[in-house]
A and B are shown apart, each in its own frame.
Chain A
């Protein structure tokens, strides 16, 4: 533990938020700013026969109306996909459609007006003539022979097929199995629902030909790259992208969206700044969604409970187009996690990435890993049921042992470190697992439906070694940059390519640098989210900011220290090897003579006056590092949930939720706990309340928060959070990442608990979310099957 690292330092970003001074894009007011609104398709699939914008264009206060043709002719390129597995077929995704809409919400025309009210009036006044075409929304149904063919040259609506694992070993495991369990399940479509709807603003300087774009993005540099190289065509050197305060992302704000192109294009066209702010409904129907898998799987085991094989086939709905990283999620972030925390040898997985008339699907908190965890952890519970074993006990039997790390799974990943047995024991102790089971017995005797759900989950975080990412289909590298700039006064600006949209990097990254240099936290300022100030960066997702972004800063701080030692020794008239950098006091002193010292600030000043520098040392004190991780990190968790299901209303009530996580070393325990708590509630949301709906005819059913039920404050009675620490051995901070573990573990923990509660009624499976209606139907079906 350092002076700051390891401590619950209060967040430095909070004062502005609690006083209402958050700098969200929607709050931006630029001189002469026009307002943009988008005309969207109400059809899931239709030919655009004609767009009549004359009435809209004639309205008072309307500056211009643009159609898809204007954007295509005006130099806007198609939105690219940045992750292509072999033989991916990519449907063309225009910024604004010219002749065909592919999902409800697809953009058809753009209005620019003096104020937002007029802009939305004008959108209503645009007449679009559509010719409706047959549509399909189902992940697997879209591959049926009678499904409409959506894109020329993409046979059967399959964009790609990907497989991984040892199919022979898997076959053999099933041939020799004593027992097998099978499961077909849907991992339902979710809407990430960051509380801040997406927004973009832009300002064009005609004299310098420089464009500034403000956008609600988790990664402004990749957005600049895509704008420059593909969609907008303004050189990166003339393009500045700023992501100021962003009101939550959860993955949905990683991707390059049409409006990020539309707004700067419009600003240049009309010679005035412009802004677009999504309504909630627009966000719900155009933000990339998450999950949406249909999976058939089976697990092979020996009669003693040893898991020997896992065979998985998944249809992953990618939506109408491939969003920026879409193919990554159900491939390298899903199939690779199917070994879970277990020693199963014969793991084999395959996935069909399919296209439908729905909004694109891409990363949402956990991204692929929750889908894997939910599947594996449901199968393990079915296995325990089949074998008549306690589910915790069966997990412990199959868990990878702590002495087996680094552990090579049969599906590519090399797990870095862990202690799953201790993780589960800690969760069991914290929950009083045996007591919960006894209470369950008593409840059952009284006719109450009580259940206990236990899970052990794995995550691959901190993406990613760039060469590995490249070999798996990435078009970009996944290193991170970090710059430590010491000013002449000894104050420090830290520039990170990571972006904080709630995670608290302005605090945690300052903790890291302050400790590395032995300076007060107050003297370190963290700068992020601005391509004009930070040289490059890959942004924030996949719980990567501490392990990759933080490590880059450690590297830069090491370089600063080395130079400070050099200059300090020179000023002390000592040899370099005769001085030490005292990280507690932030100074350099002669070994054995702590009084012969130079303070950090003095040395920083000397570096800039350059009056007296050692031979060959350049002035200045500013270092950048680009840190490319050696491996992913592998956080793990064991969560236990206790529920009761009301046998009259079939309502699920969570009685207790106990979470124990191993996210490696912890920089700020308070922030890590907050990440786990928030993550858990999102995972519980998937289990109990959330589902993004398309009717069979393709119309979108969950356009508001009335229909899409994100958890409210009373969904859980509270969350008991604890952790163990097995440091990641391959990054300098030993951290693993805390952003997603809660979400990954919570969905199966709740699902297992509810199905455990329903076990006496003969219910084996209920699709998520576990609403009273679904539970009631499942119970009724089980009872009529038994009768």
Chain B
């Protein structure tokens, strides 16, 4: 009954047996111990569970683990390189882009995609780009500020 899934997670090859109905977010959290992707809803609204799959920001609660077969997945735990924080992580820290931190991994990984598309994204473009991510603490002000600042740094 179980399916075999081979994928790369944060650069490491993983080979797992999963129930066909297992969601990717549960594979990451429960089987692989990567709890950075948080689960904030049941209906794909909140974006807390966002990860990068083959470079694209996806909500890991909307995918079955089996759909990640052969894919390259990056979670928040794997975003920073060897030498410290990713520039977007740093920008969130510098600009008070988080309060409780629950939405933060999803926000940061979504920001990676927003800035990949357009490193000079404006305030309004960032707000639009975050339409699939909810934050209840910050009022988004400093999240937007963090992302715009990270973009400005990247493109400088």
Contacts and interface: CB of A to CB of B under 8 A. Distances in A.
Contacts of A18: 76, 85, 89, 92-93, 98, 101, 104-105, 108
A679 B137 CA distance: 8
Main SS class of interface, A:
loop
B96 A246 contact: no
A471 to B, nearest CB: 34
B88 to A, nearest CB: 9
A584 B12 CA distance: 50
Contact of A502 (B38, B101, B142): B101
A21 B96 CA distance: 17
B82 interface: no
A503 B98 CA distance: 10
A689 to B, nearest CB: 12
A321 B140 CA distance: 35
22 contacts: A10-B96, A15-B93, A17-B98, A18-B76, A18-B105, A22-B36, A195-B135, A195-B136, A196-B38, A197-B39, A247-B100, A248-B99, A248-B136, A671-B96, A674-B96, A678-B99, A679-B139, A704-B42, A705-B134, A706-B43, A711-B139, A714-B131
Contacts of A674: 96, 99, 137-138, 141-142
Interface in A266-299: 277, 279-281
B34 interface: yes
Contacts of B60: none
A20 B136 contact: no
A38 B38 CA distance: 21
Most chain A C-beta atoms within 10 Å of own C-beta, residue among B22, B41, B48, B101: B101
Nearest 8 A/B pairs, CB to CB: A20-B36, A17-B101, A247-B102, A681-B139, A502-B100, A20-B76, A502-B99, A705-B45
B8 to A, nearest CB: 18
A712 B138 contact: no
Given A677-B141, A705-B45, A713 B133 contact: yes
Contacts of B40: 195-197, 247, 280
B33 interface: yes
A682 interface: yes
B49 to A, nearest CB: 11
A281 B35 CA distance: 21
B64 to A, nearest CB: 13
B66 interface: no
Nearest to B132: A712
Interface in A309-347: none
Given A18-B85, A194-B100, A678-B99, A713 B140 contact: yes
Given A248-B137, A714-B131, 15 more contacts: A18-B108, A19-B36, A20-B75, A21-B36, A24-B102, A116-B26, A195-B100, A195-B136, A245-B100, A502-B137, A712-B140, A713-B140, A714-B127, A714-B130, A719-B141
B102 A27 contact: no
Contact of A705 (B38, B41, B77, B104): B41
Nearest to B141: A677
Contact of A713 (B19, B98, B130): B130
B122 to A, nearest CB: 12
A245 B89 CA distance: 19
A405 interface: no
Nearest to A23: B35
B127 to A, nearest CB: 4
B80 interface: yes
Given A247-B102, A710-B134, A20 B77 contact: yes
Interface residues of A, number: 59
A674 B101 CA distance: 13
A718 interface: yes
A674 B143 CA distance: 10
Contacts of A17: 98, 101, 104-105
A281 B45 CA distance: 12
A711 B134 CA distance: 8
A250 interface: yes
B57 interface: no
B141 A718 contact: yes
A671 B142 CA distance: 11
Interface string A754-773: 00000000000000000000
Contacts of B101: 13-14, 16-18, 22, 245, 247, 502
Interface of B: 19, 21-22, 26, 29, 33-43, 45-46, 48, 75-77, 80, 85, 89, 92-94, 96, 98-105, 108, 123-124, 126-128, 130-131, 133-144
A709 to B, nearest CB: 10
Most chain B C-beta atoms within 10 Å of own C-beta, residue among A14, A21, A279, A680: A14
A704 B128 CA distance: 22
Contacts of A671: 96
A26 B45 contact: no
A504 interface: yes
A30 to B, nearest CB: 13
Given A27-B35, A280-B43, A248 B102 contact: yes
Given A18-B104, A195-B100, A247-B100, A11 B93 contact: yes
Contact of A24 (B38, B94, B134): B38
A745 B143 CA distance: 22
Contacts of B26: 116
A184 interface: no
Nearest to B36: A20
A706 to B, nearest CB: 6
Most chain A C-beta atoms within 10 Å of own C-beta, residue among B35, B46, B126: B35
Contact of B48 (A195, A250, A711): A195
Contacts of B102: 22, 24, 194-196, 247-248
Nearest to A671: B96
Contacts of B77: 19-21
A260 to B, nearest CB: 19
Contact of B21 (A117, A682, A714): A117
Contacts of A531: none
A501 interface: yes
Nearest to B21: A117
A18 B131 CA distance: 20
A314 B154 CA distance: 55
B101 to A, nearest CB: 3
Contacts of B134: 195, 705, 710, 712
B130 A705 contact: no
Contact of B38 (A26, A279, A742): A26
A58 interface: no
A194 B136 contact: yes
A245 B104 CA distance: 13
Most chain B C-beta atoms within 10 Å of own C-beta, residue among A16, A20, A501, A706: A20
Given A195-B48, A710-B136, A19 B89 contact: yes
A678 B138 CA distance: 4
A756 B48 CA distance: 37
A718 B124 CA distance: 10
A701 interface: no
A280 B47 CA distance: 13
A66 B29 CA distance: 28
A117 B19 contact: yes
A14 B123 CA distance: 23
A29 interface: yes
A133 interface: no
